[in-house]
Structures are given as C-alpha cells and as structure tokens.
A and B are shown apart, each in its own frame.
Chain A
C-alpha cells in the first residue's frame, strides 16, 4: 500500500514538474489548473502521511528509523504547498519554475522515503 502510494506520488510529482516546466517555457505564470494539479499531488502526500502513520501505529517499523521516516513524510507534505505559495507571490515564469523545482524535490523525497521504509 505504502510503496504503491510512494511510486504514484513520485510519478505525479514529476508530471507536475513537467507541466509547470512547460508553463515556464511558454513564459507563463502558474494558473488555476496548475493549482488544482498541486492540490492533487498534495492530497496524495497527505494520504501517504496518514497511511504511513497508521502503519507505524500498527507496529510496523521503517528500516532506517521512525524519526527519519516521519520527518520525510512531513517534508513531502509541505513541499508542494510551499512552492505553490511562492508561485502566488511571483506571478511570472519564475513562479512556474519554482513549482517545477518543487516537483523534482518531492520526487527525490519519495525515492528516499522508499529506501527509508525498506521497500
């Protein structure tokens, strides 16, 4: 369950990065549709956070330690909203690039999460 979510989130994050990268390439700021996309990816990370905590509560142990696992879950959850707010403040192509960078960062976090859980 958690592994499938991690893979799905990583793919969604990369798709978001490509989409916002495309907007930046066309010299456009982030639009409503991009924010809906960010909301979808953030929802995935939220589900992942909840599922991760439920797994911990059921007594399963992440391979590389609970503290690191939980910090990465929280980091993943906060990543896209933070980039989204920054793109609201910067209504140019650079706002779009910031969200694209956020997507890449989230994908990297997901790879690390996969390792930390021991998938």
Chain B
C-alpha cells in the first residue's frame, strides 16, 4: 500500500470496489493453488488434466491479484487480458465438464462454471473486466 501511495503516477486499482476484488481473488489464489498442490502431490495420476487446470487457474489468479495490488496502466492492461483469458477458461472448462464428464474424474476449480465455489470463478472476471475498464475511463 505504502509503495503505491508514494507514486501518484500509477493508477491505483485497489480503491473502493477494487479492494473487494483483491480479497476475492486472494481467496481464489489460496483455494486453487493449495487445492491443486495437494492433489498433484498426492493423487496426480487420478485426474491429471483436472489438477493441472486447477494449478493453471491458481497461477492466473495469482497474477491478476498481483497486478491489481501493483496498480498502473501496464498492470491494468495485463490484468484485463488475464481476466478475459480467465473468463474464456471458465466458460470453456465449464462447458467441457458438462459436455464430457468422463474427461474429468475429479472436479477442477472451473468445473460446472465454478459451482463448487459459489460461481465466484465466473462472476469474478466479469466484475473485474468492468472495474478495470472503468478505472481507465476515470484516469484518462
């Protein structure tokens, strides 16, 4: 926080609603990363695709969280791209798990559009995209 305060040139992305986004993304980072870490370490052979996808989701969440906290135009653009990728991922994997459940012997973070996580995985990128677009409108 202190670091961003000292540099007024950087767009602050965690003011107001942004703080809620950071919190939810932070929760998803811990959820996805720890879940995939445990599953990959103990039972990777059971559902390699599902666990790898959870790990990738965790990395994407981590990057978005970092970008939001860091702030600035580059970070905002990077986060925007990642949120779009995340939304595409949720929609693809969500549809995939519904269309072909046999490919996923165990659930991923994005299974059934993130139903196991209160649909946060599908709601979060949409909210974040709106927020990141608005942040540019305010600063320019």
Contact = CB atoms under 8 A, between A and B. Distances in A.
Given A75-B30, A101-B24, A105-B27, A90 B38 contact: no
Contacts of B23: 82-83, 86, 98, 101-102
Given A75-B30, A82-B26, A97 B20 contact: yes
Interface stretch (B11-19, B56-64, B84-92, B106-114): B11-19
A68 B42 CA distance: 11
A98 B19 contact: yes
A94 B16 contact: yes
Interface in A82-109: 82-83, 86-87, 89-90, 92, 94-95, 97-98, 101-102, 105, 108
B1 interface: yes
**B interface, how many residues as a size bin?**
10 to 19
A92 B20 contact: no
Interface in A48-91: 67-68, 71, 75, 79, 82-83, 86-87, 89-90
B115 to A, nearest CB: 13
B138 interface: no
Contact of A71 (B14, B19, B38): B38
B20 to A, nearest CB: 5
A94 B19 contact: yes
Interface of B: 1, 14-20, 22-24, 26-27, 30, 34, 38, 42, 118
9 contacts: A67-B38, A67-B42, A75-B30, A82-B23, A82-B26, A86-B23, A94-B18, A101-B24, A105-B27
